[in-house]
């Protein structure tokens, strides 16, 4: 089971995979005052996903960032296992 986004373990993993994104996300969470926000833009309406190409890695994305990441980076994600309900 991958670590949930924005946990201590998640930041340790993200620092290895993408230190730039890890630093940005740390800043976003600090500004938002909660870690239940999109990992990329800080939007509150976000869901937790698992990265298809790197199943150890989770990410919290709003619908906009999910679409943009797919279009720009080809990032495919699946819903996080614990959020199976719709």
Q: Binding to Zn ion by residue 15, rule CB under 5 A? A: no
C-alpha distances out from residue 45 to 41, 63, 66, Å? 11, 8, 12
Q: Residue for token digits 């298809």? A: 52
Nearer to Zn ion, 32 or 41 (CB): 41
Give the C-alpha separation, 68 to 86, whole Å.
Answer: 22
Nearer to Zn ion, 40 or 57 (CB): 40
H-run or E-run covering 13? helix 8-17
Counting beta carbons within 10 angstroms of the beta carbon of residue 86, is it exposed (0 to 12), middle (13 to 18) or buried (19 or more)? exposed
Q: Binding to Zn ion by residue 68, rule CB under 5 A? A: no
At its nearest, how many Å lie between Zn ion and the CB of residue 79?
A: 16
Which residues ranging from 19 to 58 are in contact with Zn ion (CB under 5 A)? 38, 40-41, 43
Q: Which of 48, 65, 75, 77 binds Zn ion (CB under 5 A)?
A: 65
Under the rule (CB under 5 A), what is the footprint of Zn ion?
Answer: 38, 40-41, 43, 62, 65
């Amino acid at each position: 089971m991958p670590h949930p986004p924005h946990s201590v373990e998640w930041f340790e993993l993200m620092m290895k995979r993408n230190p730039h994104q890890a630093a940005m996300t740390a800043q976003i969470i600090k500004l938002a005052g909660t870690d239940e926000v999109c990992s990329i833009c800080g939007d509150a309406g976000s869901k937790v996903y698992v990265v298809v190409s790197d199943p150890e890695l989770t990410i919290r994305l709003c619908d906009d960032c999910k679409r943009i990441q797919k279009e720009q980076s080809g990032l495919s994600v699946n819903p996080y296992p614990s959020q199976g309900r719709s």
